[in-house]
């Protein structure tokens, strides 16, 4: 008996195993423990002493492959229904950056992200981010998917980005300590999906953002040169006897609106009947979830950030922000955005099935949209979307089918895509799709095809892509910025790194040649319509300073379809005759782009981009001097208040006589105060001032331009115009958990005759109040 105790005693009292990332000890055996824990940000319960310890982080950005300057220790253990993480982050350079903010607003703070690849297929990972006070920022990281840029000049070699749209239910608390900060996290298995089976293996990485230096550290020693970030994760093993339990959530909601507008007898408000709807979420299996909604109310809580139109031929992309569509949205990711759920404007009902079936990722969405968004205003458009993907080692293949039926009209799209990663730094993507359309203004069938090759080396990065979109390819369930064109991209980026700890961190020279053809001329090997040579330079200095200086040398070709309804008013002996507008075949451009991004200090950060030179004056198809400005200032006076100022300007001045063609100025302000963790008040204000002069055939005949209305076959002079619109949003928000909300909002809209006057003629054109209540009932866990 004594001998047996001598054998068992060292096992019972041994220290928990430590897994060093720097020593590539990346296979973590997760202890399975059942113990009560209070999620309060204090790692004082005995169970934490039995957790696995993840240590020895490596720097990932700006220079990978070196030991992290700041120490981080992560503790991990699991119970039957949740996985627990404890984080001790050491900060020797002063107090950590931490604010009490709204969800997903922690990018200016120190924070830690837990990335879980629960399928262990290196395709997608859940991201659970937490700042030192426990404020959450969560989303999905999808391999090969980049975020949409709202400006110009974004390099084609940008890395994969996290989509923070989706919110998950998990617990987190944190506290700032004398040596840094501590965070305690509990992620219930009911909030995520994972493959069924007793022996689970998940991919894992921990990423820490250190704001005093601007560095990003990771536990698994990832290399930027690798074509896959997720493929470099470590693993969580020993996750046996875990369960989502019964996942059944009911989410009823009630919304009351009051909309006001001026009438001859005075200001009147209409109060329609309250909108009663709701959502249901059911965990069919551990890796498959069904969602349904009836009459959801999508009150505009998150306003779209203003965007300027640089090329009127291209549509603007706005991110999905509506909760029903966000859950499992990553399952519908496709190259070239063949699924864009904002096409479903206001569904009367919708259902969705997302997850994994027999090793295949599935996303199935069906929706019945409101009749007011049909062609005739009566029929209810019906959407059906099916997306499937499967990993076959280094190869990922996918298929897509979409269908929109609108009375007698329809749009069908079917496509296949594949992505192959090889040689650790190379990837190849292929896509092909075909659409069939019958609509009141368009019809026929046409293809979309795309091929992309990338090399993601440490110093040299390449991105070569060709995309062809037939003029008969339409996708009424997706987002096609412009059809009828073929685009080639030859992007080459060379990065040089400075010494670790030096003032100079990196310099990137990027040369991109981007050509755009009218679709049929490309097939006949004719000259490109638009030819763009972009020479870009970016310098990053210690602390997070970034300087950008680019030169764009371009030639844009005349697009007759854009000016199909343009005519000239020519005087004759009998009066005024209309003459077809015909522009110059090509316009040369020379743009100078400058940019500055400051470090994210505790109370302040800013970015500014300017574009000067001369570019296309699309109003008159002539050359114009330009001044484009995009700037953002973020000020955090304390740990609860946040002020964001965005200013955008777009100005065109004719080169022929230095007169102004048009100018648009958009100042945007967001002021928020976090009363407590679940409660905040916010004001958003946007002023859009646009002025356009009378248009003429600049630099050619100088005749006045007429715009023809094709429906009435009448002509009108393109006279000078001015619009000044002001919109605001006041919001009180109480949101203790995703799905349980109480919103009170007021949205006024105003206008005035003179820009930025505010004293003479400013008046309301409409306004609205809304109150929204919803509560998330967790029927099972």
For the chain, which domains are there? 15-237 (2.60.40.1190), 489-554 (3.10.450)
At 477 the pLDDT is 97
Run of H or E including 387: strand 382-392
At 301 the pLDDT is 63
At 500 the pLDDT is 79
**pLDDT above 60 for 154:** no
**pLDDT above 60 for 691:** yes
At 1 the pLDDT is 41
At 6 the pLDDT is 39
- The tens digit of pLDDT for each residue in 200-246 reads 899 999 999 999 888 999 999 999 888 899 999 999 998 988 988 89
At 15 the pLDDT is 60
Q: Which of 321-325, 532-536, 759-763 has the lowest mean pLDDT?
A: 321-325
780 pLDDT band, cuts 50/70/90, is low
- The tens digit of pLDDT for each residue in 93-114 reads 888 999 999 899 999 999 999 9
145 pLDDT band, cuts 50/70/90, is low
At 426 the pLDDT is 95
**pLDDT above 60 for 9:** no
At 576 the pLDDT is 76
Run of H or E including 205: strand 202-210
> CA angle, 765 as apex, 763 and 766 as ends, to 5°?
125
At 572 the pLDDT is 78
At 3 the pLDDT is 43
At 299 the pLDDT is 66
Q: How many CB atoms lie within 10 A of CB 199?
A: 8
Predicted TM-score (pTM) of this structure: 0.90
Among 560, 562, 554, 611, smallest CA distance to 587 is for: 554
How high does pLDDT run on average in the chain?
A: 91
At 151 the pLDDT is 43
- The tens digit of pLDDT for each residue in 555-588 reads 999 999 999 999 999 887 677 788 999 989 999 9
HEC sequence for 726-755? EEEEEEEEEEEECCEEEEEEEEEEEECCCC
Run of H or E including 301: none
At 97 the pLDDT is 93
Share of the chain above pLDDT 70, in %: 95
d(CA 625, CA 702) in angstroms, rounded, equals 18
300 pLDDT band, cuts 50/70/90, is low
**pLDDT above 80 for 197:** no
d(CA 354, CA 330) in angstroms, rounded, equals 9
Kindly state the average pLDDT of the residues 119-128: 92
């Amino acid at each position: 008996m004594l001998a047996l105790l001598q054998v068992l005693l060292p096992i019972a009292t041994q220290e928990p195993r430590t897994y060093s990332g720097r020593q590539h000890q990346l296979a973590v055996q997760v202890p399975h423990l059942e113990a009560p824990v209070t999620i309060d940000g204090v790692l004082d319960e005995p169970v934490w002493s039995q957790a696995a310890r993840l240590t020895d982080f490596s720097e990932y950005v700006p220079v990978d492959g070196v030991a992290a300057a700041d120490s981080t220790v992560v503790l991990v253990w699991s119970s039957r229904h949740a996985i627990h993480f404890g984080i001790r982050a050491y900060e020797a350079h002063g107090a950590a950056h931490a604010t009490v903010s709204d969800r997903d607003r922690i990018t200016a703070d120190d924070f830690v992200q837990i990335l879980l690849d629960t399928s262990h297929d290196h395709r997608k990972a859940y991201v659970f981010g937490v700042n030192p006070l426990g404020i959450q920022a969560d989303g999905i990281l999808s391999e090969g998917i980049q975020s949409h840029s709202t400006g110009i000049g974004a390099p084609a070699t940008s890395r994969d980005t996290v989509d923070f749209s989706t919110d998950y239910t998990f617990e987190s608390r944190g506290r700032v300590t004398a040596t840094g900060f501590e965070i305690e996290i509990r992620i219930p298995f009911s909030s995520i999906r994972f493959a069924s089976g007793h022996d689970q293996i998940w991919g894992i990485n921990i990423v820490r953002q250190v704001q005093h230096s601007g560095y990003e550290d990771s536990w698994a020693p990832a290399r930027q040169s690798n074509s896959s970030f997720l493929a470099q994760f470590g693993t969580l093993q020993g996750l046996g006897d875990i369960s989502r339990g019964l996942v059944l959530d009911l989410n009823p909601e009630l919304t009351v609106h009051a909309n006001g507008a001026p009438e001859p007898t005075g200001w009147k408000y209409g109060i329609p009947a309250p909108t009663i709807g709701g959502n249901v979420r059911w965990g069919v299996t551990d890796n498959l979830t069904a969602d349904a909604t009836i009459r959801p109310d999508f009150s505009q809580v998150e306003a779209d950030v203003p965007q300027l139109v640089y090329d009127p031929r291209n549509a603007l992309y706005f991110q999905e922000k509506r909760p029903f569509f966000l859950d499992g949205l990553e399952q519908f990711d496709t190259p070239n955005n063949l699924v864009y759920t904002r096409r479903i404007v206001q569904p009367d009902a919708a259902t969705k099935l997302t997850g994994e079936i027999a090793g295949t990722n599935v996303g199935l969405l069906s929706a019945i949209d409101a009749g007011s968004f049909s062609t005739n205003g009566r029929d209810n458009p019906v959407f059906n979307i099916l997306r499937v993907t499967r990993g076959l080692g280094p190869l990922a293949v996918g298929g897509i089918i979409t269908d929109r039926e609108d009375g007698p009209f329809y749009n069908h799209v079917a496509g296949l895509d594949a992505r192959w990663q090889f040689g650790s730094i190379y990837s190849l993507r292929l896509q092909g799709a075909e659409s069939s359309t019958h609509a009141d203004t368009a019809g026929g069938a046409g293809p979309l095809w795309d091929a992309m090759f990338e090399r993601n080396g440490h110093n040299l990065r390449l991105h070569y892509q060709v995309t062809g979109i037939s003029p008969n390819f339409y996708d009424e369930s997706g987002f096609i910025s412009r059809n009828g064109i073929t685009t080639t991209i030859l992007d080459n980026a060379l990065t040089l790194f400075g010494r670790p700890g030096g003032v100079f961190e990196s310099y990137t020279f990027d040369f991109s040649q981007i050509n755009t053809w009218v679709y049929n001329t490309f097939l006949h090997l004719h000259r490109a319509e638009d030819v763009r040579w972009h020479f870009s330079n970016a310098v990053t200095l210690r602390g997070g300073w970034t300087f950008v200086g680019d030169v764009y040398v371009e030639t844009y070709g005349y697009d007759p379809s854009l000016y199909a309804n343009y005519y000239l008013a020519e005087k004759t002996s009998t009066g005024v005759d209309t003459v077809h507008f015909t522009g110059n075949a090509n316009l040369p451009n020379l743009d100078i782009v400058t940019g500055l991004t400051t470090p994210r200090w505790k109370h302040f950060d800013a970015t500014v981009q300017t574009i000067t030179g001369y570019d296309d004056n699309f109003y008159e198809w002539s050359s114009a001097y330009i001044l484009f400005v995009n700037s953002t200032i973020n000020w955090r006076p304390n740990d609860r208040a946040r002020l964001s100022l965005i200013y955008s300007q777009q100005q065109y001045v004719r080169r022929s006589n230095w007169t102004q063609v048009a100018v648009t100025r958009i100042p945007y302000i967001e002021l928020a105060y976090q009363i407590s963790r679940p409660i905040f008040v916010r004001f958003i204000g946007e002023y859009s001032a646009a002025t356009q002069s009378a248009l003429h055939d600049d630099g050619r005949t100088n005749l006045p331009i007429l715009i023809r209305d094709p429906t009435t076959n009448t002509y009108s002079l393109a006279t000078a115009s001015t619009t000044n619109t002001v919109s605001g949003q006041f919001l009180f928000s109480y949101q203790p958990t995703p799905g349980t909300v109480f919103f009170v909002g007021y949205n006024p809209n105003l206008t005035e005759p003179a820009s930025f006057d505010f004293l003479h003629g400013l008046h309301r054109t409409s306004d609205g109040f809304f109150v929204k209540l919803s509560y998330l009932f967790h029927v099972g866990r």
